[in-house]
Amino acid sequence: MKATGIVRRIDELGRVVIPKEIRRTQRIRQGDALEIFTAGDGQVVFKKYSPLVELGQLSGVYAEVLAKNLGRPVLVCDRDAIVAATGQGKSQTMGREISDGVSKLLAMRAPYLAPEQPSRRLAAFEKGDGVLLCAAPIVVHGDIEGGVLLAGAERDPSPDAETARAVNIAAAFLARWMEE
């Protein structure tokens, strides 16, 4: 664990403020869930909690089935990074941060279909190549938990309506699964 040199005191209600610099670099936003646990050496650790990571295997299997039906790679992300991926380069895609544009798009709670003009497409990842072709948010109990994404290259054509519908159904299925 990296030392930051920042010290905070616990207030009378047992609260501690996580410094803005750490919240920004770790992409911790107001309302995010944090898992708190202790390490064997007495450390108290705060870790971002993602229910989609808990569903890792299920979301991976569902992404594989959807990818076989659509004939293109499918990604499942939480609010920050890819938690399940299919296709070539799967191991390099897992854990990659989604772009701020994709994060804002998912927060709008509406499905997305890339415009035909390649220059107007959103970057899929924070660093590196790839554009977003189609996306559907995973909304659980009114909160955005992530999304189902189709990423591709700028030269790829926009997906058809059936593909977009399949991505929306996948997001709805994962949302229902998480609610239960």
Question: pLDDT (tens digit, 9 = 90+) per residue, 43-98?
Answer: 888 887 777 677 667 888 888 999 999 988 899 998 888 889 997 778 788 888 88
pLDDT at residue 5 greater than cutoff 80 = no
User: Which residues share a beta bridge with 144?
Assistant: 139
- Residue 122 near residue 102 (C-beta atoms within 8 A): yes
Instruction: Name which residue leads in pLDDT, 62 or 149.
Output: 149
Looking at the chain, the whole-number percentage of residues with pLDDT higher than 90 is 28
Looking at the chain, the whole-number percentage of residues with pLDDT higher than 70 is 95
Question: CB neighbours (10 Å) of residue 103?
Answer: 19
pLDDT at 1: 61
Rounded to 10 deg, the angle between the 161-179 and 56-70 helix axes is 160
| Integer Cα distance of 148 and 140 in angstroms | 13
| Integer Cα distance of 160 and 70 in angstroms | 10
pLDDT digits (tens, 9 = 90+) for 89-129: 787 888 888 888 899 999 999 999 999 888 888 888 877 77
pLDDT at 159: 92
Question: CB neighbours (10 Å) of residue 36?
Answer: 9
| Integer Cα distance of 78 and 95 in angstroms | 10
pLDDT at 109: 92
Mean local confidence (pLDDT), 138-152: 90
Look at residue 143 and give its three-state secondary structure.
strand
